Structure 1
Amino acid sequence: MSEIINNRETHINSDTNRLSLLKEGFMDLHHGKNIKEIKERLFNQLGPISIEEISNLQHSLMEEEGIQASEAKDICSKHMEVLKDLIDRNSPSTRPEEHPGHPVHTFKLENRELEKVVNESLVHHLELFVKEDTQENISKLLEDCNSLLDIDKHFNRKEHLLFPYLEKYGIYGPTNMMWRIDDYIRDGIKEAKRMLLHYEGEKQPVLDVFDFVQKEVNEMIYREENILFPMALKNLTEDEWVKIAYESDEIGYCLTEPVEWKPGRLEMAEKAISEGYIKMETGILSLKQLELLLNHLPVDITFIDQDDVVRYFSHGNERIFARTKAVIGRTVQNCHPPKSVHVVEELLEDFKSGNKDCEDFWIKFKDKYVYIRYFAVRDEKGNYVGTLEFTQNIKPIQEIEGEKRILS
């Protein structure tokens, strides 16, 4: 395309005319015309295309041209084939995303982790599976599926926190199209896991669905980082990014734990919240006091809500089993290896049905003797609201002899 870089005397400057030419080009793609010829034509007529023009184009194709959901996926892929060469790399500024903890910085960290799964771990495990479809190799692919299911938190933050702000500024194209493709990806990962759990020796369908997942995840990462995030950075205010950052913890993060981002406004908000008080039936504590109290208990606590989603874990100085903030918002089934998931599901079903209120396990772990207790948490009416995991090293307790009645 270098031969036409300077041939721009006839570039169209009218916004309406530019959008018309863009639409014409992409509708030609939609109807199967030559991608290379259309790419050269558009570049010769328009030069670099701005993020705003891409947004307006996608919105126009979806709303004014009546492109259906089934067609949106195909045309979007062709969009990206063109945009790789036509997108304006100088617009807009991306400086805010360079700050660790900024929502865009976190989204990109997650994308790097997703790339490791789909382009490294999954590729390697598929090679093993092709050579020999043993249960061991199937289990490795199931672990990849469980990792990829974490993408739901990435998508949920994008869809429920970022998209509403873009739509507030009249930007609908990427939000409508990306949400549909996000759902295709979610469904693809779930289908891959279903096939593996019920595998009966047919390799090709498994390979096909993983090929789809790998391709769509990589393309979505490209769309996010070259269209969605630059557009959001250009339009959203710092206050809006602060709100997104503050609300992100409730949804959780994908395969990574973000660094804390504290611009001035966020520090003020956190201070106000931490100094607030929580009134309970038997007393009143500040949020800070409550957190310190839980973290000083000589046990590890994890709480799973009624939908099997991990919502909280205590953070003492010496945890028995490692936890990171990446598990928050993740289903507990996806936090366990496939070989033990059936035990987790059976226990939760007993709690939900009322067959059990608690279950205990004890295991030797490194130099510890670990007592693990699970309790069904119910409200005053007996309704199941979640499960509490209570983990303690009881080896020092077992070693106690005699009596102690004086201070050390």
Structure 2
Amino acid sequence: MSELINNRQEQLKAIIKEIHKGMPLDEAKALFKKHFESVTTEEITSMEQSLIEEGMPLEEVQSLCDVHAAVFDGSISDIHTTKDQTQIEGHPAKVFIDENSKIMELIEKEINPYLNKLDKSSHLMIRIGVERLLEIDKHYKRKENLFFPGLEKRGITSIPKVMWGVDDEIRKMLKGVKANLDSIDNDLESAHRVLDQALTKVIDMITKENNILIPMLLDKLSLYDWILADEGSDEVGYFLDAPKASWTTKENHKEEKQDEIINGEIPFDAGTLTNIEVNAILNTVPVDMTFVDKDGNVKYFTQGKERIFDRPHTVLGRHVNMCHPPQSVHIVEEIVESFKSGEKEHEDFWIQMGPMFVHIRYYAVRDKEGSFLGTLEVSQNIKPIRDLEGEKRLLAK
């Protein structure tokens, strides 16, 4: 049986390699139909992953991924068996597919009727349509940051890499079109030509998302993966409009999340860490932090390399009023009282200390219900930040 499976994959790879050598799409489709009645999403994934592992450049796979999708279109056998969750209102998979329908509708109704028309009214409509289409960035970000991690945990990396690369190409093209259209010296013919190319890529990506990615996600992702995707969706955002219905599974399966917590690690709102990792992280950030509990006692301070104020261990457990000169105690008390009453959430000071320009901010620390837990003092020498000019986008040599 394994020999048959391997032979199928080799045949698939052979067809794709011929496409990369220049075989016309119609010939590739005919060759595919000659050897296969159907193909599974897992076979497609394994085939692309194997091509990359054999040395085919990621960029080359990426550049022809839409051609791959066109060859397999309508022949993916396991699509119908994995679509149940796409019928659940508010489920991330259904939201994603519904967004693809909205993207197609926008292209067909708001852009295509005006494409390649260079009059003023058409120019305006194209600009509005492109600006709305740029919201596709949120659609892609949810895919890249909420869906792909679940696949990568299971060793599926080729399709995420290839898709992400094409997503970035689409973003760049659409932003370029928008900049061209907004320019006083715009080149409408060039803008429409690039937009036409970008729309082709968008539509091809919709085909691959609906026919390959979503079935694969439904097959591979656990309930917990979908809960995480659902919880992160509001923060990333949606294409044009948020879904009207909510998927309530996450409320009913909080215990599912507990199964993912690693024994011996401290659970946080996002992830778990060992106490050694927490201590190292807090000592790595280039700020001094001191925490005073709700009763006014110093409970913790960082021990980073870039110290601004001395904090001997003898201050631990000491009341904060005893850590300041008598003439400034009233200021400390006022700050803490304003935090306890809810009047303020932070208070800022900045002072010149020799060559350093120090920013000091006091934060009210509260639990999820809003109850006051204490005060966090954060101090940082911001002179190097104030001195920054221009931009840095590349690594220094």
Distance 1:191 1:201 in 2: 11
Q: Any idea what the Cα deviations from partners look like across 1:252-274, whole Å, max 9, x if unmatched? A: 1111221343444424659x9xx
Distance 2:229 2:28 in 1: 38
Cα distance, 1:155 vs. partner? 0.7
Report the counterpart of residue 102 of structure 1 in structure 2.
91
How do 1:107-256 residues align onto structure 2 when only pairs under 5 Å count? 107-126=96-115, 129-130=117-118, 132=119, 134=120, 136-200=121-185, 202-256=187-241
Contact 1:114–1:255, Cα closer than 8 Å, also in 2:
no
Distance 1:200 1:260 in 2: 45
Amino acid corresponding to residue 126 of structure 2 in structure 1: L
Percent of pairs identical after alignment? Answer: 28
Distance 1:247 1:201 in 2: 38
Distance 1:248 1:265 in 2: 12
Distance 2:92 2:342 in 1: 34
How do 1:39-58 residues align onto structure 2 when only pairs under 5 Å count? 39-58=29-48
Distance 1:65 1:75 in 2: 16
Contact 1:119–1:214, Cα closer than 8 Å, also in 2:
no
Contact 2:180–2:187, Cα closer than 8 Å, also in 1:
no
Contact 1:163–1:175, Cα closer than 8 Å, also in 2:
yes
Q: Any idea what the Cα deviations from partners look like across 1:286-311, whole Å, max 9, x if unmatched? A: xxxxxxxxxxxxxxxxxxxxxxxxxx
**Alignment match of 1:81 (pick from 44, 47, 70):** 70
- Point out where structure 2 has 5 or more consecutive residues left out of the alignment: 258-268, 270-293, 295-337, 344-377, 383-397
Contact 1:242–1:265, Cα closer than 8 Å, also in 2:
yes
Report the counterpart of residue 19 of structure 2 in structure 1.
29
Contact 2:181–2:187, Cα closer than 8 Å, also in 1:
no
Report the counterpart of residue 320 of structure 1 in structure 2.
none
Q: Does 1:259 align with 2:249?
A: no
Cα distance, 1:17 vs. partner? 1.2
Distance 1:201 1:268 in 2: 53
> Per the alignment, in what secondary structure is the counterpart of residue 22 of structure 2?
coil
Q: Go from structure 1 to structure 2 and tell me whether the alpha carbon gap of 1:111 and 1:253 turns closer, same or farther (over 3 Å shift).
A: same
**TM-score, structure 2 as length reference:** 0.61
> Per the alignment, in what secondary structure is the counterpart of residue 115 of structure 2?
helix
Amino acid corresponding to residue 7 of structure 2 in structure 1: N
The aligned length equals 268
Distance 1:219 1:247 in 2: 26
Distance 2:220 2:342 in 1: 42
Amino acid corresponding to residue 44 of structure 1 in structure 2: K
Q: Does 1:14 align with 2:20?
A: no
Cα distance, 1:13 vs. partner? 6.5
Distance 1:268 1:82 in 2: 40
Q: Does 1:281 align with 2:271?
A: no
- Point out where structure 1 has 5 or more consecutive residues left out of the alignment: 1-10, 286-378, 384-408
Contact 1:103–1:241, Cα closer than 8 Å, also in 2:
yes
Distance 2:137 2:48 in 1: 24
Q: Go from structure 1 to structure 2 and tell me whether the alpha carbon gap of 1:253 and 1:25 turns closer, same or farther (over 3 Å shift).
A: same
Distance 1:34 1:142 in 2: 35
C-alpha RMSD of the superposition: 3.0
Q: Any idea what the Cα deviations from partners look like across 1:319-359, whole Å, max 9, x if unmatched? A: xxxxxxxxxxxxxxxxxxxxxxxxxxxxxxxxxxxxxxxxx
Distance 1:31 1:92 in 2: 34
Cα distance, 1:90 vs. partner? 4.9
Cα distance, 1:232 vs. partner? 0.3
Cα distance, 1:95 vs. partner? 0.1
Distance 1:199 1:54 in 2: 46
Distance 1:46 1:75 in 2: 20
Contact 1:162–1:244, Cα closer than 8 Å, also in 2:
yes
Distance 1:112 1:380 in 2: 50
Rg comparison, structure with higher value: 2
Distance 2:74 2:21 in 1: 21
Report the counterpart of residue 405 of structure 1 in structure 2.
none
Q: Any idea what the Cα deviations from partners look like across 1:53-80, whole Å, max 9, x if unmatched? A: 00011112223232241x2343212202
Q: Go from structure 1 to structure 2 and tell me whether the alpha carbon gap of 1:170 and 1:92 turns closer, same or farther (over 3 Å shift).
A: farther
Distance 1:284 1:99 in 2: 41
Amino acid corresponding to residue 246 of structure 2 in structure 1: W
**TM-score, structure 1 as length reference:** 0.60
Amino acid corresponding to residue 93 of structure 1 in structure 2: T
Amino acid corresponding to residue 281 of structure 1 in structure 2: F
Contact 1:113–1:256, Cα closer than 8 Å, also in 2:
no
Q: Go from structure 1 to structure 2 and tell me whether the alpha carbon gap of 1:123 and 1:38 turns closer, same or farther (over 3 Å shift).
A: closer
Cα distance, 1:37 vs. partner? 3.1
> Per the alignment, in what secondary structure is the counterpart of residue 227 of structure 1?
helix
Q: Any idea what the Cα deviations from partners look like across 1:16-40, whole Å, max 9, x if unmatched? A: 1111111111100111124333323
Amino acid corresponding to residue 191 of structure 1 in structure 2: G
Distance 1:35 1:154 in 2: 29
Distance 2:251 2:90 in 1: 12
Distance 1:13 1:36 in 2: 29
Distance 2:39 2:195 in 1: 33
